[in-house]
Every structure is written in structure tokens, then in C-alpha cells.
Structure 1
Amino acid sequence: MGLQAVLHLIYPPQCLTCDSLVTSDFGLCGPCWRDTAFITGLVCDQCGVPLPGEETGKRLRCDDCLTLARPWAQGRAALLYRDNGRRIVLALKHGDRLDLARPAAGWMRRVAAPMLVPGMLVAPVPLHWLRLFTRRYNQAALLSSALARAAGLEHCPDLLTRPRNTHSQEGRGREARFENMAGAIRLHPARKARVAGRHVLLVDDVMTSGATFAAGAEACLSAGAKEVSVLALARVAKEG
């Protein structure tokens, strides 16, 4: 009997979000799986929000992405930010559940497949130093590191910086979110050579309006990036 099998006998695998037993590590039990809104099928090519209709192979955009000038080329998200998807994000972000980064990165890699290209540079959306000090880790960096490792891509955890404390975006309208993030993210001055002429994939835990991703994408493009794509663990979507 292998070591892994012995460990499973002593410590049976449990669901990521409850105490139910599951058949493999980093899995969800049946009820939690059904309560997790994985994004599949037809999606907006720029922000990853689900769209009505069936997949045709054509790149379509949602109403928001037709209205807003997104500075990035493509975008995807693995989950909808509701029910168990919201609980997973909050556990990773505020509950010290660092173990969630590995399975979450696997879900993200699956939906990101159409965007991944050889030589792509993966980087997280940065935290302001004060928030990083308080939280002790950047959940976006945990996700981007696990994703880059699984996809065999280069990872640069400090590609971007956030010199201005933008505080929480919660409760702000769309315009206020963009105003709050304007110029708030910059390229690390020592990392310009790593981004010039390359495809960059920016990673974050949640996408709502896209203001944070826009600030990060603009910083990369201003430094000479060839193209920027974005990837979130969860996407906030309008109900109905």
C-alpha cells in the first residue's frame, strides 16, 4: 500500500467547503458541487460572463463590454460569485484557506485554455502594502502562482504595484470604481524588460466592473506589453 493510500485511510479526503467525505483530494461533495456555479458554455470573450445561446466558436461580447473600452483582449472566469462560489472566494480571501488556491487554479486553467499562449507572462493583481501587511498574503498571487505552475508558464508575482491605497471597492457604483482605480496600479520599475513585447495574463480572485483589471492592463500596455488577457476565479454577474 502506497503512502498516499495510507494517509487516506488515516485522514480521508474531505470536501473543500464542508466536512463531507469525498473520493479524492481537493474535491467537492455532490451538494457543494451543485451549489457551485461553474461557468460553462457561451461566454463573453472579454469578461467571461455567461451569455444566452449555444457555443458557436465565434467571439461574442456582452452589453457591458460593447459599451466600455476594455484595454485587455480576452477575459475569463471560472465561477459565478454567488452561493458556494462566493463562500470559496471569501474563505481564500479572508479565511486563511490557502489550500483552496490549488484546486481553484485548476478550474481557472480550464476556462483560460483559449487565452493561453506559449511565452505568456502570468502576474497577479497587486495589493497595497498596508492591506498585504494586514492580510499577510495576496490571494491573487496564490492563484496566479498555482496557475502558472500548472500551465508551465512564467510567473512574476511583483510585476505590478499598487502605491495608492484604493480601499475596498464594495458599495461603489461602476463609475466610482473606475475613478477610484484610475492610475492606482503601476508596473514595477525593475520589471519593464520582462513585459516588453509579451502577452501578459493578469489574475485576480473576483471581477465585478473590471476597473481593477483595466488599471493593471493599462499599466502593462504602457510598459510595452504586446497584449493583455485577464482571468478571475469568480465573476459578479447581474441577476436575471
Structure 2
Amino acid sequence: MTLRARIQTAVTLVYPARCLNCGGLVESDFGLCSACWRETEFISGLVCDRCGVPVAGEDDGQPVECDDCAMSQRDWSQGRAALVYGGQGRRLVLALKHGDRTDLAHPASAWMLRAAAALLEPAPLVVPVPLHWSRLLRRRYNQSALLAQALAARAGCDWVPDSLIRSVQTPMLEGRSRQERTDLLADAIRPHPRMGERMTGRDILLVDDVLTSGATLSACARACYAAGAKRVSVVVLARVTAL
């Protein structure tokens, strides 16, 4: 056994791998135990090509849209999601977003990479959904930027954390209607005065933690196009399936 392997074995004995969700023992770092894995609804199979929500039917190779996307304006081209926002999936998102569990960004980016595989050719510029500076100051990190950074590293893509800025401090959107969200975000997100030019002529992959109504991602997509982006797609960690 090499010295490195001995050190790793010793570390494992002292600090055994724990489930990301419940803290139970698991075989490897950054994993879920079997119980939490079963209770986490990963999205697979046939999905809406615009938002990534699971849809009924068989995959015939043609893009499909869910009813929500068919009735709503989407300012991006394609979208994917790794998890359904419910149960363990919701708890993981909230732990990352509000519980200082920044360590979750690493494994979450692997799940998002699998979901977004169809959106990564040609390699896009990865751009996170921005936080207003005042909220960033209180929270100390932007969970979307952490996910974007980890995803870009896994996919071998460029990323720019400040391509977009949230110039207006909007109130919390949770619990608000689709129209209220759209109205509040109408002029809230813009290209960064200097960094935004890096989006010109590029395919953009927007990254966020949750897709609910799509109002935030639509506002971001419009800002990307205002900066000269060629095409905008989105990927999120979790998709809300019941509004």
C-alpha cells in the first residue's frame, strides 16, 4: 500500500464518510445513504425540453413541452433540472441555500451535469443567477454561483460569476403568483457594465438552484440577450412541479 493510500485509509477511519442529507455512514464522500437516495426524486426519462420537468409518455427523440411551458412565456431555449423540488430534494436545496451547506454544491453539480448533458455542446459560457449585493452580504455566498462554478469545472466550460447583476433589491418571491414575480423582476436584472460583454456571441447556460415559475430565469435570459448572447439555456438543481 502506498503512503497516500495509507493516509487516506487513516483519514477514513477517523472521519468516516457521512450521508449528505442525514449524516449516516456511507461508503464514499459526497454521497447519499440508501434510504435518502430512495427518497430523493431524481429526474430521468422523458422531460419537458423547456424546463426539465418529468412528463408522461415515451421518448421518441422529439422535443416535448409540458403544459406549463406551453402556456407560459419562456425566454430561454432549453432547460433541464436534476431533482424534483420536494421531500429530500427540497431539504437538500434549502440546506444549500439557507443552511450554510456550501459543501453540497460539489455533489449537486454532478447531478446537474448529468441532467444538462444535452445542453453542453458546443461548450457554453456558464452564468449564475445573481443575488442583489445586500442579500449577498447577509447570506455571505450565492448558492447559484457555487453550483455554476462546480458545474463549469466538471464540464470543462468557462464561467463568469458576475456576467449579470441584480440592480434592484426585490422582495422574497416565495408564495407570490407568476404575474407578481414577473412584475417584480421586470427591470431587476441586467448585464454587468463591464463583464457582460463576455456573453456577446456566446451560447449561455444559466444556472440556478430552483425553477418555480421561471420568472427569474426569464429575466436573466433577457439580460443575456441584451448583452448579445447567441442562445440561452438553463439548468437548475431542482424543479418545482406543483405551483
The normalised TM-score by structure 2 is 0.96
- 5+ unaligned residues in a row in structure 2: which ranges? none
Q: Aligned residue for 1:144?
A: 148
Q: Aligned residue for 1:215?
A: 219
Listed one character per residue, the Cα deviations across residues 178-221 of structure 1 (whole Å, up to 9, x for unaligned) are 11111210000102331111100010000000000000000001
Residue 189, structure 1, aligned to residue 165, structure 2: no
Residue 199, structure 1, aligned to residue 203, structure 2: yes
Q: Aligned residue for 2:87?
A: 83
Alpha-carbon distance in structure 2 between the residues aligned to 1:147 and 1:111: 11
Q: Which amino acid aligns with 1:109?
A: L
- The counterpart of 1:7, out of the listed 8, 11, 15, is 11
Alpha-carbon distance in structure 1 between the residues aligned to 2:193 and 2:134: 20
Q: Aligned residue for 2:26?
A: 22
Q: Residue 5 of structure 1: CA displacement? A: 2.3
Listed one character per residue, the Cα deviations across residues 156-190 of structure 1 (whole Å, up to 9, x for unaligned) are 00000001011210110111111111121000010
Alpha-carbon distance in structure 2 between the residues aligned to 1:5 and 1:215: 48
Q: Aligned residue for 2:77?
A: 73
Alpha-carbon distance in structure 2 between the residues aligned to 1:171 and 1:69: 20
Alpha-carbon distance in structure 2 between the residues aligned to 1:79 and 1:192: 30
Q: Aligned residue for 1:109?
A: 113
- The counterpart of 1:120, out of the listed 99, 120, 124, is 124
Q: Residue 137 of structure 1: CA displacement? A: 0.3
The count of corresponding residues between Structure 1 and Structure 2 is 239
**SS in structure 2 of the partner of residue 76 of structure 1:** strand
Instruction: Give RMSD over aligned pairs.
Output: 1.1
The answer to whether the 8 A contact 1:125-1:141 is kept is: yes
Q: Aligned residue for 1:57?
A: 61
**SS in structure 2 of the partner of residue 154 of structure 1:** coil
Q: Aligned residue for 1:134?
A: 138
Q: Residue 91 of structure 1: CA displacement? A: 0.4
The normalised TM-score by structure 1 is 0.97
- The counterpart of 1:154, out of the listed 136, 158, 178, is 158
The answer to whether the 8 A contact 1:123-1:203 is kept is: yes
